[in-house]
Amino acid sequence: MNDGITGSVDRRMAKSWPSTHQETVGGWLVRANGGTTRRANSALATATDDLSSTLDAVEAFYAERQARTLILASEATAPDHLTEELERRSYVATALTNVMSADATAALTAGGPPPEHMVRTTEALTDEWFDLFWSTRDQATVSADAYRFTLTAPPQAVFATAHVKRVAVAVGQAVVWDDAAVIQCMVTRSDFRRQGLAAALMHGLASACVSRGVRRLELGVLADNPNAIALYERAGFATNYRYQYFAKTN
């Protein structure tokens, strides 16, 4: 696929989830975040004049940090023959992800009338928002400080919180880049799922984005998560392309 439009989506998604350490290695954006999240600890593969040399340099970057090498290979931006070279080097594919987009204004009405649940949006990360999000993470393997950095580093973000009886039960984030926004971190407390809260969050985020001049919403969702995909499709999203990670096994 490798075109300007879809390639720019990959770049916006990368900017929306920054790492505590990132640099360009062989033309690729290479990120290290102390192990907190796949995306923030992976190299975004793009066109390169010498694929083998670039991979050597990327592997050296992660080896220096005693971290496994993880390559994000997107149908939109990955160089030719990347998969073959990674397989030759004993990489294993994981976490196939759909990249979806929707017209922001249409997303406000695609699911029917506005949800009944109260959703509050803020431009700053609140303790209430973070505490709920953090409670759903595997806290033994990730860092709260790294998450806080990643969530607050983008210059313009919207944090949405859905409440039931004044208790926060679902959260989500939108990161705004001119006329596009990346939706991410959609989380609902397990005991409040299937009650329309995710739809309410999406409506609240879409409304906040439209008011900021956003015309297009974008997100990534694991391909093996049919419930989330169905939710986004009801909100007017459609899959544009896919990406997956390749992890080095030795």
Residue among 202, 179, 219 at smallest CA distance from 39 = 219
CB 223 within 8 A of CB 188: no
For residue 110, what pLDDT band results from cuts at 50, 70 and 90? confident
Does residue 132 sit in helix, strand or coil?
A: helix
User: Rounded to an integer, what distance in angstroms lies between the CA atom of residue 203 and that of residue 206?
Assistant: 5
Evaluate if residue 241 carries a pLDDT over 90.
Answer: yes
What are the sequence ranges of the domains in the chain? Answer: 4-99+244-248, 101-240
Which pTM value belongs to this model? 0.93
Of the candidate CATH numbers 3.40.1280.10, 3.40.30.10, 2.40.50.140, 3.40.630.30, the domain formed by 101-240 belongs to 3.40.630.30
| Mean pLDDT for the stretch of residues 209-217 | 97
SS3 content of the chain, % helix, strand, coil (to 5): 35, 30, 35
pLDDT at 207 (0 to 100) = 95
The rounded mean pLDDT for the chain is 93
For residue 90, what pLDDT band results from cuts at 50, 70 and 90? very high
Evaluate if residue 117 carries a pLDDT over 90.
Answer: no
